[in-house]
Amino acid sequence: MGLTSRHSSRFTPIDFIADDTGLVARVQALLDDVEPDRAQMLEALHRIQHELGYVPKEAIPFLAAKFKTTPAMIYGVLTFYSEIRTEPPPRVEVQWCSGPACLLKGSRNIRLALEAEFGCGMNESAPDGALGLRLVQCDGTCHLAPLVRLNGRYIGPLTVTDAIQLARRLKEEARRA
Amino acid sequence: MAKLTINGREVEAPDGAPLVEVIKNAGIFISNLCYVDGLPPYAGCRTCVVEIEGMRGVQLACTTRVADGMVVRTDGEEAKRMRQAALSLIMSYHSDRCLTCHRIVKCKPGDTCLRDGVVTHRCLTCSKNYRCELQTTCEMLEMAGYEPWEGEERTYYTTPQPEPDRANPFLEFDPQMCIICTRCVRVCDEVRHTGAITLAGRFNPRIEFGAGGPVHESNCDFCGSCIDVCPTATLMEHPNKWAAMQTERWVPTACTWCSVGCSIFLGIKGGRGVIVKPDTAGNPFSRDQLCVRGRFHYDFVRPHQRLQRPLLLRDGARQEVSWEEALEYAASRLAEIREAHGPQAIGFLGSPLMTNEENYLLAKLARAVVGSPNLDSTAGPVARAALEAVREAFGTPVLPADLTRVPKARTLLVVAEDLESSHNVASVRVKDAVIREGARLIVVSPRYGELCDFATVWLQPRPGQEAAVLVSLLRSLARDGGAAPGLPEALPDPEPEGVEAGELARAADILREAVRDQSWRPLAFVYALPYLAPEHVRATAAALCGLAVLCLGDEAPSCLYVLPQEANVWGMLDVGVAPDLLPGYREAGSPADQGDMERLWGTPVAGGPGSDVWHMLQDAGGRLRALVVMGDNPLFFLPDRQRVEEALARLEFLCVIDSLDTATARLAHLVLPDSGPYSKEGTTTSADRRVLRLHVAASPAGESRPAWAILRDLSLRLAQRLGLGEVRLNYARVAEVMDELAEVVTLYRHARYQELDNGSQQSWDGLSPRAARVPTLRLPANGHGDGHLLLTSRGLYTSYEAAALGLEDADRLHREESLEMNPADAAALGIGPGDLVRVANDRGELVLPAKLTYGAAQGTVHLPLHYRGGAALSLFGPGEPAASVRLSRA
Ligand code: SF4
Ligand code: SF4
Ligand code: SF4
Ligand code: SF4
Ligand code: FES
Ligand code: FES
């Protein structure tokens, strides 16, 4: 998809963006010395994510101005790369494997169970921001399929009941914390 | 040209044309759900497969280019099977129950679906039913009964679907219906150069607007182009979405909301407009593009909000009266005043919102029936100031420039306050040149408009210093030893405020290169006229003409595009609505030209120069006793509001012909209801002098009549009272007015309706450029006091008609209801985003919310002209390009 080209010599959005949380200033500082060259776009996204843990919505107009395109085009790029987050990461993140072995062993039901328990969709955080789900690819631990990853640990093979119990335990822990 | 055979038929097509377009143009059906005519193929839907002799398997028609001798079959069994398979995949993520059902012809929207209880989204309950490309494609490919997944679980019906976005007034977005053909994304990006839509996500791709929020929070400007290409009901016009399903007929007509003059089809149901589509074949400039005004403003004022019957002010109250009474009253009042004070006591205001025929009849009523030369329009002074410069440069007021050359230009200089908002489709064409031809663009504008984002150089002078910028450029180019007739020895050296010397030098270099190097030509100079400050307009136009002449010599007039604001400014002047012009640019005050008119009209003509609009207002109550206003609205378009209002109140008789109860009409003694732009026949003349036909589309409101008929009846009655015998005033049809106009004004010689319908256009015999010289360069003084400068210009979204009526939602998007100011200025005054600001000077004050943007230079603020019925102009003095104001937090 072609990225709409703009030609202005301006590298910041034309409209003033209020910065109540200081987030905008941080984004701007991070983008300051990035070359306005489309090849640098992914680098810029990674840099922001590295510093802030995610790429906030507030950064989109600045990225659009820097790379001389429109917010929609930046959003398209942003959502294309699954490793780029658009929301702050949850404090606890359950990573659900989307690989084929897990799928064959019924990971879809596990996903549904987790989504229902957490009250959020895949790659989202629950409203309180404490718990979240993330879709990941197979990393070769299929003997544990169907599995989830939690803080670098592999938990599997899981039944739907296991998944529900796990989710409830995490919720309880989050509530107490 | 290539000769090829399609399904056994011989077809000729340009070599290398996309096969899919050639097949369609030959009138043969081919499914092509992701192709957009004129854009590079996307090759995503795979429904366009055909068989080509000599090639293995099947080919995509959208990626295949035609070649001589090609033999193509669209009706082969294999291709058909593959198309069905491709389509069935697409239908797996679309509501498909009706599409594969035999019963669809019998089903009614209320009926329960016999196949599936859960199906709520289906063709029969869809607003696109029977006007849907996906549906037609399914029918043509005989998908009824084609269900390879029968018995399987369908994810479409089990997964929760995203909510539709109906939060804005124009465009409905229902992602559930989307088949991810990406046509909308490509059109918004590659045709509009707006880029408001994107394909988001990799694993579950979906269409999203802006940064993933609602449509109205994106940079979408609601042109509706994506609606036109969407093959499903995902993107739909919000107004009259359901009524438009029953469109009874499509009437070709023209948009009258700016001088670009886009051609439209207005869809009519029950006598009312319900939908607009671009008349793609009818207009070589607008083609398949419109802006939000052309597409949606038809719906801002409903028939019942227009004037229905003549209104007569009697004992301080307005009463509805019959046409007979109203016309008699008007004729008798005008006759009395003429008798008592002479013909010059009666003045006339025409309007660029009215047709050529109507303005012509007004000129005739003034000069030939009443015998008064006092004839102008609020749009007159600015337009004539520009023409004065053009005439001095080229010996004619008529520029032969053809806007269809703009998208092919390689270097462009655009002088405009915000072309994107004032002349939207022209702005799209300038972007075409930048994006497609790699053109360099110089924008001269005191404030930001979207076009600035496409500019190689944006020169942002203080308001009123546009001419100074152009003269500086001229000076820079003349220093190279460039010569042109009329170029003075010593050019002024104005040093425009706000413009950096480096930027100015860069702009001069761009022009210099265009002069030197053929590959940077064609060159185009575009000037969008503002609403205000004739003296500045003259200076700017003169400097621009001079620059064009210096760069291009005799070619200059055909590369210079002067775009007036309103739709029919040129036409209005062509037919003689001006104090110093007789029809056809004959000169008022020239005995020869007067004699000419008397011969043509067969009656004595008041051929001298008359008073312009300002002088008429000044004389109101004194030498001027009566004013006939047709379609004009001085209390909207003129600065110095208070004086205008007082002047109008001093008149003995104010007669307004309009379809709306405007501020001016509310002061009138007599209001005669015109039927409005969508309910009359006539012509308007666009910025590049194409004559556009208006047709009667919607039924006129109440007893309203087209203004041409009102003027005819009034003229006839008046002529009878005054004992005028010879002059022709009776026309059965408006076509007869154009027939006469074609005799009187050579520009319209070939513009009789029959000829227009066959594609004929203006002929500038006798009015083509005679010279190319640098006109006199006079820079107006900038006598601004302290404080901030308030600028006002046309916004994109606010409907003139709704604003003139003072309707609350004249700007349904609420994008043009705040004061734009620079964040630094705001900070200094302690004003935050959205805070209320008081804008005041000796003339008055306004209080409205602030919008902080770097698009306003420090020291200037901006307010859209149409905000609250032209409220901004109440702070302006006559002739000022910007008003000095004091700002404070309210
Ligand atoms: S978009 Fe077209 S195919 Fe889909 S439900 Fe509506 S009418 Fe039917
Ligand atoms: S309406 Fe026009 S600007 Fe808005 S998304 Fe559609 S094509 Fe783009
Ligand atoms: S919204 Fe319409 S045009 Fe856009 S991708 Fe979906 S179906 Fe295609
Ligand atoms: S560009 Fe002008 S003529 Fe065209 S649709 Fe918009 S307002 Fe109407
Ligand atoms: S598929 Fe889940 S771990 Fe391999
Ligand atoms: S039109 Fe050819 S693949 Fe879609």
Q: What is the pLDDT of residues B412-461, one digit of tens each?
A: 999 999 999 999 999 999 999 999 999 999 999 999 999 999 999 999 99
Domains, chain B:
2-154 (3.10.20.740), 171-303 (2.20.25.90), 324-379+570-687+694-748 (3.40.50.740), 400-561 (3.40.228.10), 788-889 (2.40.40.20)
Separation between Cα atoms, residue B833 and residue A16, nearest integer Å: 8
CA of B114 to the centre of ligand 2 (A): 38
Ranges of residues in chain A whose predicted pLDDT is under 50:
1
Are the beta carbons of B714 and B629 closer than 8 angstroms? Answer: no
Residue A59 with chain B: CB contacts under 8 Å:
none
- What is the pLDDT at residue A9? 67
Task: Find tokens 């045709």 and name the residue.
Answer: B191
Q: For residue B726, what pLDDT band results from cuts at 50, 70 and 90?
A: confident
The stretches of chain A forming alpha helices (DSSP H) are: 23-31, 41-52, 59-66, 71-80, 100-104, 107-118, 160-176
A125 has a chain B CB within 8 A of its CB: no
Residue B59's pLDDT band, with cuts at 50, 70 and 90, is very high
A8: which chain B residues are within 8 Å (Cβ-Cβ)?
452-455, 458
Query: Residue B27 Cα, ligand 3 centroid: separation in angstroms?
Result: 25
Question: CA triplet B531, B533, B539: central angle to 5 degrees?
Answer: 115
| Pocket residues: Cβ below 6 A from ligand 1 | B 94-95, 98-99, 122-123, 126, 128-129, 132, 134-135, 177, 232-233
Give the C-alpha separation, A133 to A93, whole Å.
6
Look at residue B93 in the predicted model and tell me its pLDDT: 83
Give the pLDDT score at B149: 67
Between CA B294 and CA B279 the distance in angstroms is 11
Helix axes A160-176, A107-118, angle to 10 degrees: 30
Q: Is B695 exposed, middle or buried (0-12, 13-18, 19+ CB in 10 A)?
A: middle
Q: Which of B196, B200, B454 sits opposite A6 (nearest CB)?
A: B454
Query: Do B195 and A57 lie within an 8 Å CB cutoff?
Result: no
What does residue B18 show for φ and ψ, rounded to 5 degrees? -65, 130
Whether the pLDDT of residue B645 is over 60: the answer is yes
User: What letter would DSSP give residue B576?
Assistant: T
What whole-number distance in Å separates Cα of residue B41 and Cα of residue B17? Answer: 12
Name the pLDDT band for B180 (thresholds 50, 70, 90). Answer: very high
Residue B841's nearest CA partner among B870, B791, B882, B884 is B884
Question: Mean pLDDT throughout B573-589?
Answer: 97
Q: Residue B154: which pLDDT band, with cuts at 50, 70 and 90?
A: low
Nearest one of B419, B475, B473, B413 to B440, comparing CA atoms: B413
Dihedral angle of Cα A33, A37, A43, A48, to the nearest 10 degrees: 50
**Is A27 an 8 Å CB contact of chain B?**
no
| C-alpha span between B768 and B267 (Å, rounded) | 38
Q: Candidates 3.30.450.20, 1.10.3720.10, 3.40.30.10, 3.10.20.30; correct CATH number of A92-176?
A: 3.40.30.10
List b or e across B28-50, with b for residues whose CB sees 16 or more CB atoms inside 10 angstroms: bebbbbbbbeebebbebbbbbbb
Instruction: Give me the count of residues in chain A.
Output: 177
Burial class (CB in 10 A: 0-12, 13-18, 19+), B324: exposed
Closest partner residue to A16 (CB to CB) among B198, B454, B853 is B853
User: For the residues of B123-174, what is the DSSP string, one character each?
Assistant: GGG-TTTTS-HHHHHHHHTT-TT--TTTTS--HHHHSPPPPPB--SSSEEE-
| CA nearest ligand 3 atom 6, residue | B178
Which one of A11, A15, A41 would you mutate to disrupt binding with B, by most B Cβ within 10 Å of its Cβ?
A15
Secondary structure (3-state) at B670: strand
- Choose among B238, B227, B231, B295: nearest CA to B267: B295
B592: CB partners within 8 A, 6+ apart: none
**Mean pLDDT across the stretch B302-309?**
96
Domain map (residue ranges) of chain A: 1-86, 92-176
Closest residue in chain A to residue B212, using alpha carbons only = A75
| Mean pLDDT, residues B271-294 | 96
> pLDDT tens digits, residue range B727-778?
899 999 999 999 999 999 999 999 999 999 888 888 887 888 999 999 999 9
What residues of B are in contact with residue A2 (Cβ under 8 Å)? 186, 189-190
* Cβ neighbours, 10 Å, residue B509: 14
Average pLDDT over residues B151-180: 86
Q: Quick check: B104 and B123 in contact, CB under 8 A?
A: yes
How confident is the model over A95-125, as pLDDT tens digits?
Answer: 999 999 999 999 999 999 999 999 888 888 8
| H helices present in B277-375, as ranges | 292-296, 323-341, 356-364
Among candidates A9, A16, A75 on the partner chain, residue whose Cβ is nearest the Cβ of B854: A16
Query: What does each C-alpha distance from B97 to A15, B85, B144, B176, B662 come to in angstroms?
Result: 47, 16, 10, 14, 52
Mean pLDDT of chain B: 94
Nearest CA in chain A to B857: A14
CB proximity A71 to B under 8 Å: yes
Residues of B in Cβ contact (< 8 Å) with A70 = 194-196, 210, 219
Which pLDDT value is given to residue B691?
A: 96
Q: Please answer yes or no on whether B196 and A14 come within 8 Å at the CB atom.
A: no
Sheet bearing B457-459, strands edge to edge? B457-459, B440-444, B411-415, B523-528, B560-563
The vertex-B320 CA angle with B314 and B326, nearest 5°, equals 75
Task: Tell me which residue in A15, A61, A75 faces B208 most closely, judged by beta carbons.
Answer: A75
Q: Which three-class secondary structure state does DSSP give residue B626?
A: strand
Smallest CA separation from ligand 1 atom 8, residue: B123
Residues B673, B707: Cα–Cα separation, whole Å = 8
Question: ipTM score here?
Answer: 0.90
- Asked if B276 contacts B264 with a C-beta cutoff of 8 angstroms, the reply is yes
Rounded Cα gap, residues B341 and B605, in angstroms: 18
pLDDT at A87: 84
Q: What pLDDT does B119 receive?
A: 58
Confidence category of residue B116, pLDDT binned at 50, 70, 90: low
Whether the per-residue pLDDT at B226 is higher than 50: the answer is yes
Right CATH for A1-86 from 1.10.10, 1.10.3210, 3.30.70, 1.10.40? 1.10.10
In the predicted model, what is the mean pLDDT of residues B281-294?
Answer: 96
Number of other CB atoms surrounding residue A111 within 10 Å: 22
pLDDT tens-digit profile of B626-636? 999 999 999 99
Q: What is the pTM of this model?
A: 0.94
Q: Indicate whether B152 pLDDT > 90.
A: no
What burial letters (b/e) apply to B70-91, b meaning 16+ CB within 10 Å? bebbbeeeebbebbbebbbebb
Contact A15 B853 (CB under 8 A): yes
C-alpha dist (Å) from residue A18 to A13, A35, B816, B827, B834: 12, 25, 20, 12, 11
Between the CA of B186 and the centroid of ligand 2 the distance, in Å, is: 10
Q: State how far the Cα of B333 lies from the Cα of B378, in Å rounded to an integer.
A: 24
Question: Cα separations (Å) of B709 from B292, B412, B731?
Answer: 31, 43, 8
d(C-alpha A89, C-alpha A93), whole Å: 8
